[in-house]
Structure formats: C-alpha cells, structure tokens
Amino acid sequence: MLKDMFNRPVKWSVMKQLILKEIDDLIIDSLGIVCFISFFVGGVVAIQTALNLTNPLIPRYLIGFATRQSVILEFAPTFISIIMAGKMGSFITSSIGTMRVTEQIDALEVMGVNSLNYLVFPKIIALFLYPFVIGIAMFLGIFGGYLAAVYGGFATSTDFVTGIQVEFIPFHITYAFIKTLAFAFILATIPSFHGYYMKGGALEVGKASTVAFVWTSVLIIITNYFLTQILLS
C-alpha cells in the first residue's frame, strides 16, 4: 500500500486542502477528549501514589516525581495512542471503507486519480502533528496531578513542584516523542489499509473498523516494547 501511494501523486494545490481537512478531522477534533482524559488520569495517578505512600519517612515530593514519570514515559504517549486507535482509527477505517462500499474509490481511479495518494497520504502528513497533541496531554496530566495532590491535601505545592524537578532526565521527553511519531505512523496506516482493502457492504465497514482497532492497538503495544528496550536500556 505504501509503495503504491507514491505513484502518480495528486497536485499540490489539491493535496494542501486535503491535508488541512485531515488536520481538522484527526488532530483538532481529538484535542477535547485528549485534554479531558489527560487531566483526570493525571489526578488519579497523583492520588493513588499519595495513598500508597503510607510510611511517614517517605518524602511527599515522590508524589510529583511518580506523576511526572508515569505521565511522560507511558500514559501520555502510549495510553492516549491506544484511545486514539479507537477514535482516529475507527474514523479513518469507516470513512475510507464507506468510500469503497459506495464505489467512490473506483470513481477516483476511473478519473485517473491515485486513490491511495489522495486518501492515505494526507492522513500520514496530518499525523506528523500528533506529537503536539501528546505534548498537551503531558502538560495537562501533570497539571491535573498537581491540582489533585495540592487541593486534595496530599502534598504541598512546593513538595509537588520539587518532585517534578528532581532527577529529571531530558531524554525521557525525546523518548516519548520518538514513540509518539512511531505511533502516529501506525495510527495513519493500519486503519487506512483495513478501510481501503475491505470487501462487502455496510456491515463489513463496522467489522473492518473493529479489526483495524485491534491490530492498531496490538502494533502500538509491540512497538512500545521494542522502542523502550532500544531507547532506555
């Protein structure tokens, strides 16, 4: 699919509009659910960490430290990407699958348009902005943890901020964004593949969306394992 995507590219004036539309559909429309989930899960991580620090000898700044590590290393890049596999992935598969069922893809081919370049390439380019979404998720996750810890009475503001700063390794941010770019590529291609090559009618569109979600999630988790092994070991 990726090889055929670059044959007979669509002219730039058309492609620019397609990319802007995909940015709106895939990135901008995802911000609401990402912000909501990130904020509250960050709060939950902080509260659960605080409730497990029962030994009075353990410093309270560890609440901020644990929240930062959890959000940056795993929650924001991986957990949000699996949620996006359901939201973005289902949208991509169903939209392309519906075009296949209604023979719109065949019509594009008849007109001499490379349908793969027209449909899939803009999604891949649009999802290069996906790390921007994950950056917002990181910030809101830590901010949600801060509010939950401070206003819940689990830690002082100074303790939590100290925990965020202590033993900070800048490469962890780089690692998270490298993972995010890999996940973005998976989110754009696997659902597109299942939508483009599906066969059948309207019922099969739903089945293709489910299969695409499952395989996208599996591939994200496997990729996460290998990238963690390579980059952090």
The 10s digit of each residue's pLDDT in 127-162 is 999 999 999 999 999 999 999 998 988 888 898 899
CA dist 20 and 24 (Å) reads: 6
Q: Which of 181, 178, 191, 195 is CA-nearest to residue 217?
A: 191
List the chain pLDDT tens, one digit each, 233 residues. Answer: 888 888 888 888 888 898 999 899 889 988 999 999 999 999 999 999 888 887 777 788 888 899 999 999 989 899 999 999 988 888 899 988 888 888 888 888 888 888 888 888 899 999 999 999 999 999 999 999 999 998 988 888 898 899 888 888 889 999 999 999 999 999 999 999 998 888 877 788 888 889 999 999 999 999 999 999 998 88
Are 133 and 27 within 8 A, CB to CB? yes
Q: Is the dihedral of CA 142, 167, 220, 136 positive or negative?
A: positive
The 10s digit of each residue's pLDDT in 37-57 is 999 999 999 999 888 887 777
Q: Cα-atom radius of gyration of the chain, to the nearest Å?
A: 21
Q: Which of 228, 12, 28, 17 is CA-nearest to residue 127?
A: 28
